[in-house]
Amino acid sequence: MTISFTESLNWYEKTQNIIPLASQTFSKSKMALPFKAAPLFIKYGKGAQVIDLDNNTYTDYINGLLCVSLGYQDQEVDDAIKAQLASGISFSLPHTLEAEVAELLVDLIPCAEMVRFAKNGSDVTSAAVRLARAYTGREHIAVCGYHGWQDWYIGSTTRDLGVPEATKKLTHGFTYNDISSLEAIIENHPDELAAVIMEPLNLAPPEDGFLEKVRELCSRNGIVLVFDEIITGFRYHLGGAQSYFGVTPDLATFGKGIANGMPLSAIVGRKDIMQLMNEIFFSGTFGGEALSLAAAKATISKMKKINFPAHLWHIGDYLIEQFNQVNPAPELFSIKGLAPWTFLTINQGKTSSANLIKSWIIQELCKNGILMLGTHNLSFAHQKTDIDELVQLYRSLFTRAKEYDHSGALAQHLDGHEVEAVFKVR
């Protein structure tokens, strides 16, 4: 089966000369999809589907890197944006929507006593780190997961070009579900850790009371515990993963699906820590931008009305069940994570690297009207029929991948380039 990406490639050639990577985001660039064997630009989205520049239609399992939570062009959210547009976007003083959305978050999220808004996840995770340092008078940070592009975090990864060595030395990574790895950091830096910032859920759920042990360690050592709920927020529970697992951090950050694609993030937390916002510098022109806040108010209100997490759990569990029933190559492919957000994991083959196999799978999914990066970023717009289509494609493609791998022919069937990793996080 052939599929054309002529217009995407034409626009890529034009755009790369004026925009590095021809994209604002690594995970939306030619690095993330097999170059020349996948689309590079999207022009339209509705519900769970998108259309690229060459008029190819896909069921979308990327969903704007999880920021589209209800589905593209959700009517209630779009109506709220249009209504606010009639009276203005950004103003010279705060808008009451700031307080209205903050009240929604305080009502839903266990740790939320006060709220501040920004635009991206990196904004609020960095604000959390600055608050923790101000509150504790310490400088070192322990991290687990992905927390954005700012120096304090990215310096701890292989994408550390441009980060001062002195900054890198202040951040220490620990391993999810390995409490001893965090204990070692605390032991090696006594009375130096300002914060433990972590994604409360990863490839695997917490085991053996892991989150409770992290909470206890932080409390005992005077460390601010920050849950990065940019992804987990609203997806597993309307109160975040902290509500689902029953472990309350001191601060938490939210973003992604909070406004169904409109740019908004939030830092929430204990009042005694959050009040230091009056002293530290965390200030931006667009934190109170009204269209995104109107979208967030409509999105959260609809999530409450439709029991948004229940739908994701329902179709996500169905995906896991069907996947495990039909998977013809469990030695190569498996599914990990809890139902609302799962990962297609791929192992090394007999003759093919995991990256080559992943690239070919993404390519073939595109040919069959599925857009994905290796994770199932479900939205409210996805239905069981979408899952059935995906799983049947998996069964066919996994069988072929296994055959090509055994014969050493998989590389010959890749029409484009292999995907490139930015760095390994999870």
- Looking at residue 109, its amino acid is I
| 14 included as an active-site residue | no
297: left (phi over 0), alpha (psi -120 to 50) or beta: alpha
* Contact indicator for 291, 84 with CB cutoff of 8 Å: yes
Collapsed DSSP state (helix, strand, coil) of residue 140: strand
* Contact indicator for 200, 242 with CB cutoff of 8 Å: yes
* Contact indicator for 3, 368 with CB cutoff of 8 Å: no
Choice among 60, 74, 123, 228 that is catalytic: 228
Residue 411, C-beta contacts closer than 8 angstroms, at least 6 positions apart: 352, 356
* Contact indicator for 252, 226 with CB cutoff of 8 Å: yes
| Burial label, 281 (beta-carbon count in 10 A; 0-12, 13-18, 19+) | exposed
Q: Percentages helix, strand, coil for the chain, rounded to the nearest 5?
A: 45, 15, 40
Sign of CA dihedral 194, 284, 117, 174: negative
CA separation for the pair 296, 302 (Å, rounded): 10
Helix residue ranges, H only, 189-237? 210-221
Residue whose token pair is 């004026």: 18
Choice among 256, 297, 302, 358 that is catalytic: 256
| 317 included as an active-site residue | no
Choice among 58, 72, 135, 146 that is catalytic: 146
| 228 included as an active-site residue | yes
- In DSSP terms, which residues pair with 225 in a beta bridge? 196
Residue whose token pair is 């590079």: 40
Catalytic residues: 146, 228, 256
